[in-house]
């Protein structure tokens, strides 16, 4: 059986049999991989906490026919603050769940890997609520979609922007307002995150605005995941239709 080594972020785990777990891990070289970790639930497992969700590890795996098998794990990056702090861990869980939703097994994407591991490290260093929306902005840029934030999506006017409606694709002026209100400070911070000025926004945004932006970021994740689900459903429906026609 072929053996391979890579770095990976553990996205989630579930129990298998008496002592094993199936680990879903986002790897640097092979994208999302599902693998069996044998004996990981025993107290004296050689894997320890290195296969817990959020861990960033060097892994060695055997390629299996259905699932790969984890044979060795070492810590790649220590994240000592993540697990001890509920709010940081909650934010980390949002990152893990998002990557799990927007990636398919076996599609390597080193930029996506860097984005995820970098955001986890940043959360560990500094539990700033803006880490999640900064991650969302980069993710949407990677995926080729982003909301219009500097002009009304209906009329194009660049001022008096007071609302945001993600299903409409961005912000709206007083006259065309729908969706939910957005403050000028939050809109500017979001725009700067999409423009890549993450350091500046993390340092300069006050806490009330940070929470508003975090909220909007979470909404963007939901909306993006929903849109992906819808478009893949449409695709499956389409394939199904073709299959029916082919069979008749
Ligand atoms: Zn307008």
Q: Along the 248 residues of the chain, how does pLDDT read in single tens digits?
A: 699 999 999 999 999 999 999 999 999 999 999 999 999 888 888 888 899 999 999 999 999 888 999 999 999 999 999 988 999 999 999 999 999 999 999 889 999 999 999 999 999 998 899 999 999 999 999 998 899 999 999 999 999 999 999 999 999 999 999 999 999 999 999 999 999 999 999 999 999 999 999 999 999 999 998 887 777 665 555 554 444 443 33
Domain stops at, among 77, 112, 141 = 77
Measure 231 CA to ligand 1 centroid, in angstroms.
Answer: 28
How far apart are the C-alpha atoms of 83 and 120, rounded to whole Å?
11
Q: Which two tokens stand for residue 136?
A: 């969302």
Q: Is there a domain that residue 92 lies in? A: no
In this structure, the dihedral spanned by the alpha carbons of residues 103, 109, 115 and 117, taken in order and rounded to 10 degrees, is 90
How far apart are the C-alpha atoms of 204 and 81, rounded to whole Å?
23
DSSP lists the bridge partners of residue 10 as 25
How far apart are the C-alpha atoms of 109 and 182, rounded to whole Å?
33
Measure 153 CA to ligand 1 centroid, in angstroms.
Answer: 7
How far apart are the C-alpha atoms of 35 and 13, rounded to whole Å?
10
Domain stops at, among 77, 102, 118 = 77
Are 143 and 220 contained in the same domain?
A: yes
Count of domains in the chain? 2
Measure 145 CA to ligand 1 centroid, in angstroms.
Answer: 21
Are 133 and 227 contained in the same domain?
A: yes
Grouping H, G, I as helix, E, B as strand and the rest as coil, residue 18 is coil
How far apart are the C-alpha atoms of 198 and 201, rounded to whole Å?
5
Measure 128 CA to ligand 1 centroid, in angstroms.
Answer: 33
């Amino acid at each position: 059986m072929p053996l391979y080594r890579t770095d990976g972020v553990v996205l989630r785990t579930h129990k298998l049999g008496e002592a094993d777990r199936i680990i879903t891990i986002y790897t640097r070289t092979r994208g999302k991989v599902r693998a069996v970790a044998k004996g990981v639930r025993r107290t004296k497992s050689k894997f320890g906490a290195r296969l817990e969700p959020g861990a960033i590890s060097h892994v060695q795996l055997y390629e299996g026919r259905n699932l790969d098998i984890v044979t060795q794990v070492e810590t790649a990056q220590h994240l000592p603050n993540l697990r001890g702090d509920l709010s940081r861990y909650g934010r980390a869980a949002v990152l893990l769940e998002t990557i799990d939703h927007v990636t398919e097994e076996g599609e390597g994407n080193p930029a996506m890997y860097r984005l995820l591991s970098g955001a986890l490290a940043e959360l560990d260093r500094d539990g700033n609520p803006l880490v999640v929306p900064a991650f969302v902005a980069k993710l949407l840029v990677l995926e080729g979609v982003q909301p219009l934030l500097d002009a009304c999506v209906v009329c194009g006017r660049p001022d008096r922007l007071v609302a945001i409606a993600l299903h409409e694709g961005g912000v709206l002026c007083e006259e065309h307002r729908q969706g939910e209100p957005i403050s000028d400070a939050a809109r500017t911070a979001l725009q700067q995150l999409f423009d890549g000025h993450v350091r500046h926004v993390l340092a300069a945004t006050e806490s009330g605005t940070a929470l508003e932006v975090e909220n909007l970021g979470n909404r963007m994740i939901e909306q993006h995941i929903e849109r992906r689900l819808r478009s893949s459903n449409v695709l499956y429906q389409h394939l199904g239709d073709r299959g029916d026609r082919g069979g008749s």
